[in-house]
Structure 1
Amino acid sequence: MLALRTLSLGCLITLLVLVTGSPLPGGAQPLTSSPSSALSSEIDRILDAHWGSTPAFWGIHVVDLENGNTLYAHHADHRLIPASTQKLLTTAAALDQLGSSYRYETELHFNGTTEGAVMRGDLTLRGSGDPTFGSTEIWQRDPLQEWAQKLAEQGVERIEGRLIGDARRFDGTAYPESWDIGYVTRQASRYIGTASSALSYSDNVVALRIQAAAPGQPPDIRPYPNGALTLNNEATTSSRWRGNALHLDRAFESNTIRLHGSVARSYRGTVNVPVTTPTDFAMRSLVLALEEAGIETDLTRVDADTLSTVPDRGSLLFVSLSPPLADIVAVINKRSNNFYAEQLLRTIGWGGSVEGGENRIRQFLRQAGVARPPAIHDGSGLSRRNLVTPKTLTGLLQHMENHPESEAFRASLAGSGERNTTMEYRLSRYNVEAKTGSLRYVRALSGYVTRTDGSRVAFTIMANNYSGGAYRVRRTMDEIVQTLTDAPVL
């Protein structure tokens, strides 16, 4: 035993493995430098304290950004479900391809004649994939209402002809093939299951304004804009003052919504429901905006995809510019906006497709020198078929640290304790910039830590197939990150 005390830490670890047949607690890969060994021991202790006797599969990789050395590795080359840390791949590839100053353009054209106060001909509403067009996630004036008001101010009183919705910039596939069908048919909220389209408006959701009625009666439900959804209102108003149990479901790719369950008799609120035909929804919304501005309309809505040849768009009336891409990726990473991420994936993809976006990300990673290409099936991380190694994510973070768009990428990450982000209630006393990830039985955290001595590390922590409460996973991750913030003891 005295002889063992004189052995180096690395030799002792090797001896223990030979004798017991087991690696360090949690399967960590031992490192030889003293600071790294101390860090490894502490992370092992945290994992063993929280998960020593409880099933969970952990993947962790920590890298020193000053010299590129690996400080800790635990199943770092094992591909795991990343959840929303997948958005790091999407946003980094988009910044690399488009640049942080890139702006989407959505246009309204007119090809026809004007006689007095009447416009006759074709209006074409042409999209380029802008997720912010009419969106409530980034504050800006509603472009359709602004355009309608300007036409009214110019003396237009009536518009007759066709309204053509042009969404051909994307391939027309609304959802990634790998998504759970329940995202679209059962959960159906503005945050999960939203259809993508090159012509999107108001996050592609209809606002259902709900007002409780007398107990036993169906609540009053008013969609805005009207006509975009077919509602089967089977819900009731309960006699209780608080507590709602309102549910909605739909058939796949159907705009018929069934509402059932109950609302409290005091309830008054808004539920946002995705549409499955975004192009038609945008056209309906333009017609409504025109009518609200006092302009009569006799417009036939036409999807450009149904036309054998799309007519000349004619003169450009208006163009709406999105905020710069730097602001868009900040919404994606700070708030984990799935719709924005899916729009961005198609924007950078060849042919405006999900598959094209996947190939673009893989190409970007190859050029960045990131090993072990991931399995990519969407841009948001909702798919459980996405598989990424912790080492791939930290490799991406290393690459972006010295990338020309490094500032925009880092600014897109949620800061520890930052309000209205996914990190609002986490690690508020530490200098951390990170992206969270969350699916059922999946949690992930990946980003940067600035240590107390000013040095920086990149880290990825992923947990799959855990049992017990998700709060335990989160607490374990946060304790590991807290450990990373301490300067190494030399």
Structure 2
Amino acid sequence: MRTAMHRWYVLVTGLLLLPGLLPEGGEAQPLAPQIDSLLQERRAAHAFWGISIYDLERDSLLYGRNEDRGFLPASNQKLFTTAAALDLLGPEHRYETTLTFDGTTRDSVMQGDLRLVGSGDPTFGSTALARTDPLREWAERLAEMGVRRIEGRLVGDGQEFLDGFYPDGWSVNYLTRQKGQQMGVRAGGLSYRDNTVPVTVRATQPGAPPEVRIQPEGVLSVQNEAVTSERWRGSTLLINRTFSTNKIVLTGSVARSYGGVRNVPVSDPTAFTIRIFRERLRNAGIETDLELVNAAALEASSGEGELLFVHLSPLLSEIVEEINKQSNNFYAEQVLQTYGWGGSTRGGVRRTESFLRRAGIDTRALSLNDGSGLSRKNLVTPRSVRALLAHMDAHPAGDVFRRSLPRGGERGTTLRSRLGRTSVWAKTGSLAFIRGLSGYVERPGGGRVAFTLFANNYTGPSYQITHTMDDIVRLLAAPPPS
């Protein structure tokens, strides 16, 4: 019994001596000294920290550190994009993709121009929201209508977006190198399947190249320099795509047990989409003698023609949820160009800045270059992000915005393994040497706190930074000192 009592005494004494719990006098420390103590710990001291924490109910600043300094936000940039989209387009906004026909139909043969027109819908044929394939549905419906052959041109119209540019500050590796998760994908006014091609790779015999399969065939040209190794586990497979082409080169090795799919971005979304549609028509049993044409190359439109089909996207509220909960870079860039002046990235940035100024946020200290946060030329201040959160808390679309953020421990989101059983809704952000976490915390006594946490230029393990951020959030969610 004495041994058990001794252990209990040691445990309680040790807890009381932990920094920030119960200092001398037996009273809980105020929030600021507790956060300062966490940031002074070895795991956090090597980072450059920017923090802004605001009590929305009391309209008062709870903690600030480097609030007006510039930080790389990584995917916290998506907060600006999704908030601006909800304000400018509205939660009920839907994209339309149409198929028209300008020509004649005789018996079972269509002769003329099929025109596929996009409006920038990121969900068209997307794998992210697990919807049906609209191109397959349209092809099958044409076959059901009795069409057996189509002659003429298949015109792809992606002119809703200004074509030919990537956001300033993106690394070329985002677009050309596939080692793990795909990061950078080209936006397009007419896009399909997230503008990526699935490349299936399976091991063969040790010493031999792995098997590579691409559907549909011919979309990518392949140079396979990879090899199947003797190892049962552990692979170093790398897929490089030559910039602005659809040629990929496989290098490295795959284990004998390897089998997987990598999504490789395409260089021309419009050309990719109409090529897939022609393939879908053939799979539906329709003979085609279609010339594939980009509408941008035509001198003049031949007319709108007869409307055959219209595909509507999910509501913008669902799209925004995909962007923030999954940190979907492609969706973010598509949405930015959707509300952008002239359908461009630069136009999207300018409209974002205009929205922020209307919200009372000083944009002079900001450098915005994309919608997703991949650009290393982005700079934001903790104060500006916190002010955005406060503005959206009172916005008519505020509930939609808040619900779009991952909840602590929510499955299938970027917070799935963090902050479980904590009343927090927050957007994560991560690039090399960069971590961010911004959102809302519900306090036990009532009321909501908006917070922004940035750590830049750290040299230690990233998990130490995220653990520190999570500890700060837990402090915010703890009962306030009496």
TM-score (norm 2): 0.92
Cα pair distance change 1:362/1:484, threshold 3 Å? same
What residue is the counterpart of 2:96 in the other structure? 105
Residues 334-343 or 188-197, more deviating:
188-197
Which of 372, 381, 393 is 2:385 aligned to? 393
Cα pair distance change 1:127/1:300, threshold 3 Å? same
Residue 110 of structure 1, CA deviation: 0.5
- SS at structure 2 position matched to 1:245: coil
Cα pair distance change 1:253/1:405, threshold 3 Å? same
Contact in 2 for aligned 1:187/1:193 (Cα 8 Å): no
Q: Which amino acid aligns with 1:484?
A: L
Which of 425, 433, 450 is 1:441 aligned to? 433
Residues 464-473 or 250-259, more deviating:
250-259
Consecutive aligned runs of 4 or more in structure 1 exceeding 6 Å deviation: none
What residue is the counterpart of 1:270 in the other structure? 261
- Sequence identity, in percent? 53
The answer to whether 1:177 aligns with 2:168 is yes
Contact in 2 for aligned 1:173/1:196 (Cα 8 Å): no
Cα pair distance change 1:162/1:144, threshold 3 Å? same
- SS at structure 2 position matched to 1:414: coil
Contact in 2 for aligned 1:131/1:340 (Cα 8 Å): yes
CA distance in 1, matches of 2:112, 2:200: 35
What residue is the counterpart of 1:376 in the other structure? 368
Matches within 5 A, 1:65-76: 65-76=56-67
Matches within 5 A, 1:139-158: 139-158=130-149
- SS at structure 2 position matched to 1:70: strand
Which of 423, 440, 443 is 2:415 aligned to? 423
- Structure 1 residues 66-105: Cα deviation after superposition (integer angstroms, max 9, x where no partner): 1221000000111100000000000000000000010000
- SS at structure 1 position matched to 2:252: strand
CA distance in 2, matches of 1:368, 1:290: 49
What residue is the counterpart of 2:400 in the other structure? 408
Residues 369-378 or 300-309, more deviating:
369-378
Cα pair distance change 1:91/1:48, threshold 3 Å? same
Which of 106, 109, 123 is 1:132 aligned to? 123
What residue is the counterpart of 1:241 in the other structure? 232
Matches within 5 A, 1:77-476: 77-187=68-178, 191-373=182-364, 374-476=366-468
CA distance in 1, matches of 2:135, 2:349: 32
CA distance in 2, matches of 1:350, 1:420: 34
CA distance in 1, matches of 2:334, 2:421: 34
CA distance in 1, matches of 2:330, 2:373: 11
Residue 36 of structure 1, CA deviation: 12
Contact in 1 for aligned 2:43/2:464 (Cα 8 Å): no
- Structure 2: gaps (5+ residues): 1-26
Q: Which amino acid aligns with 2:358?
A: Q
Residue 188 of structure 1, CA deviation: 7.5
Cα pair distance change 1:412/1:273, threshold 3 Å? same
Which of 35, 38, 50 is 1:46 aligned to? 38
- Structure 1: gaps (5+ residues): 1-34
CA distance in 2, matches of 1:351, 1:485: 43
What residue is the counterpart of 2:15 in the other structure? none
Q: Which amino acid aligns with 1:407?
A: D
Contact in 2 for aligned 1:191/1:339 (Cα 8 Å): no
Contact in 2 for aligned 1:450/1:485 (Cα 8 Å): yes
Contact in 2 for aligned 1:189/1:272 (Cα 8 Å): no
TM-score (norm 1): 0.91
